[in-house]
Amino acid sequence: MKKKLKWVGLGLFGLILVAVIGFLVWTQLTYGPTEEALGYAAEATEVDNRLEFGDPKSEVGIILYPGAKVDKEAYAYYGAQLAEEGIFVAIPSLRLNLGILDIDAAEPIIEAHPNIERWIVAGHSLGGSAASGFALENEGLVDGVIFLASYPISSMIESELRVLSVSGEVDGLATPADIEASREDVPSDATFHQIEGGNHANFGMYGPQDGDNDSPLSAKEQLDETIAHILNWL
């Protein structure tokens, strides 16, 4: 009997080990940046495994959490364009490429840049949910949240955080219905904008994504519209 239990225990341990290894391998199968994105990433300064754009003494700083399993370089266009408007932008690498496992990724960035007066956290997809978690735990330190095809990790109704939500009309992952439902979890003065023809993957520059719908827009077209609304909201 003891021998049988021993083999059962070893079998369960083996299954758990295989599952853990499989999960770790899965997190490393990321969506890489396009060549165009790499060109913009070359404009950044890399510090402590994050990309930084613009003047670290800017009045406003944005910390952008990448989407799940998407390399940070895929979001470099935001940094390059917003830096031209006088905004400091930092894009961190996230633990195991999942924002939900690295909600506090913004903390060391804020600590490293004490001259910035106003911080906004932003994120694409799961990255936006993670960013909202950080903002909710750090009201006063953070002024607002920008959701890119995303929604809060928990209710923000009682918070005084400013909120901008930009979504895509044909997004197959953060669907229009999902975004509409998220209105119940953000302050009543939140700003929502839906990009006509926009999808999920075009909030970055990394090519098509599993489960998403095709878009008539290029990534750059969708990003330009997104950035214009970010600047207007700021």
CB contact set of 13 (below 8 Å; sequence gap of 6+): none
Domain boundaries, the chain: 49-233
pLDDT score recorded for residue 95: 79
Structure-token pair, residue 58: 């800017």
Mean pLDDT of 74-79: 98
Q: What is the pLDDT of residue 97?
A: 60
DSSP 8-state secondary structure symbol assigned to residue 147: E
Mean pLDDT of 144-160: 96
pLDDT in tens, 77-103: 999 999 999 999 999 999 766 668 889
Predicted confidence band of residue 2 (pLDDT cuts 50, 70, 90): low
Number of C-alpha atoms within 13 angstroms, CB side, residue 99?
Answer: 29
Q: What is 78-142 written as a DSSP string?
A: HHHHHHHTT-EEEEE--GGG-GGG-GGGHHHHHHH-TT--EEEEEEETHHHHHHHHHHHHTBTTB
pLDDT, residue 100, reads 82
- Written out in words, the top-level CATH class of the domain with range 49-233 is alpha beta
Give percent of the chain with pLDDT exceeding 70.
85
Mean pLDDT of 170-196: 97
